[in-house]
Amino acid sequence: MSKSALLTSSIAKKYWMALTGLFLCTFLVGHLIGNLQLILKTGEEGRRAFNEYAYFMQHNIFIKVLSYITYISILFHAIDGLWLAFQNKKARPVKYAYNRPGTNSSGASRNMAILGTLILVFIVMHMVNFWAKMHFSHIPLHTTNKTVDMTVGYDEMGQEVRRKINFEYVLTTAGTYQEVKATDLETGNTSDMMEVKDGTMLYNLEKSGERNANGLKAGEGYKDLHSVVMGFFGQKKEGFPVNSLALWATIFYTISMIVLAFHLWHGFAAAFQSLGLRHKRYTPAIAFLGKTFAIIIPLLFAIIPVLLYLQIEL
C-alpha cells in the first residue's frame, strides 16, 4: 500500500477510525475518574482534590502530550467518520426498499455519523464551557477564609484591643495555605500581604503594603476550576457567577450522554471488527464489554451534572 493509501483508502480510514475511537474510549475512562471527584468528595476536600487534579492535568508533560493526541484523535475520528458516511451514501444513492439500519452497514454508519456529529457539537460547547475558560480567561484562585478574634494593639490604659479579623488564604501548589489579605471586620480596613501576577503567581508584599524589595515569589496558587464547574451547574460559590441556564446545561449534558451511549453501543465492538480482530470466543465477549461500557460510562458522566444541579451530596 502506498504511503497516501495508508491514510486515504476506505479500509485505512476505517482502521484509523477504530484506533482513534478506542483511544478516545480510554480518554473517557480517565476523564470520568477525574470528574467523579466532583461528586465523591465534598466541601473543601472535594474542591482541593479537583483543583489539584486539574492543575496536574495541565502541567504534567505526559498528560499534555496525551491531550494533544486526544484533540487530534477527535478531529481525525470526526473527519474520517463523516467522509466514510458520505462515501457510503454516494456508493448507494438509492435507499433500500426495506431499510433495516441494524442489518445493513450503510444505515448503521449513517446513524453513527449523525450521533458522532451531535457528540462533536457537545464537545465544542463543552470546551467553550470549561476548557477555554481554564486556558484563556481569568479564573479566581482557590481561596479560603478564616475569621480570628485577635489583639490588634493596646489603648491608652494599656488594655488589649481585640478585633475580628478575616484572613483570606490561597492554597498553593506546595500544599500550604498562604495569607493573602486581612480585613478588619469592624472598620472594613484591608491589608494585602500578597500580590497575584500572571493569574496564579503569588508575590510577597511588606506589611505596609509596599512591594518587598526582592519581589519574592511566595508560590503558585490553583485556579478554582471546581467553583467554575459548580457555578455552571447552578451551585452558589462566593466570588463565582451562578449560571442562570444551569437547568438547560444539565439537560443538555444529560441528553448528550444518551447520544454518547448510542454511539458507543455500536462503535465499541465495531472498532474491533474494523481492526480485523474476530474470534469465535472473543467476539461475543467484546460485544458484551462494548455494551456494558456504552451504558456505564455515559451513565456515570450524566450523574455528575444531575447531582450537582440538584445539590445532592453522596
**Span from 51-59, 76-84, 108-116, 201-209 in contact with ligand HEM (CB under 6 A):** 51-59
Q: Looking up cell 433495516, which residue turns up? A: 100
Binding residue (CB under 6 A) for ligand HEM from 110, 126, 181, 291: 126
| Range in contact with ligand HEM (rule: CB under 6 A) among 107-115, 129-137, 168-176, 269-277 | 129-137
Answer for which of 12, 49, 52, 67 binds ligand HEM (CB under 6 A) is: 67
Interface segment toward ligand HEM; rule CB under 6 A; list 96-104, 142-150, 270-278, 297-305? 297-305
Q: Which of 131, 167, 203, 265 binds ligand HEM (CB under 6 A)?
A: 131
**Out of 18, 39, 54, 218, the residue judged to bind ligand HEM by CB under 6 A:** 54
**Is residue 134 a contact residue for ligand HEM (CB under 6 A)?**
yes
Mark the segment that binds ligand HEM (CB under 6 A) among 90-98, 125-133, 167-175, 269-277.
125-133
Return all residues near 112 (Cβ < 8 A) that are at least 6 apart: 81, 85, 263, 266, 267, 270
Contacts of 293 (CB under 8 A, 6+ apart): 25, 264, 268
User: Least CB distance from residue 126 to ligand HEM, whole Å?
Assistant: 5
Q: Site residues for ligand HEM, window 184-223 (CB under 6 A)?
A: none
Q: In the set 52, 82, 118, 130, which binds ligand HEM (CB under 6 A)?
A: 130
Binding mask 1-40 for ligand HEM (x = CB under 6 A): ------------------------------x---x-----
* Residues 104-123 contacting ligand HEM, CB under 6 A: 119, 123
Residues between 246 and 265 with contacts to ligand HEM, criterion CB under 6 A: 253, 260
CA 24 – CA 124 distance, rounded (Å): 15
Residue at shortest CB range from ligand HEM? 67
Task: Please say which residue, 85 or 229, places its beta carbon nearer to ligand HEM.
Answer: 229
Pick the piece of the chain touching ligand HEM (CB under 6 A) from 52-60, 162-170, 204-212, 236-244. 52-60
- Binding interface with ligand HEM (CB under 6 A): 31, 35, 54, 57-58, 67, 70, 119, 123, 126, 130-131, 134, 225, 229, 253, 260, 301, 304-305
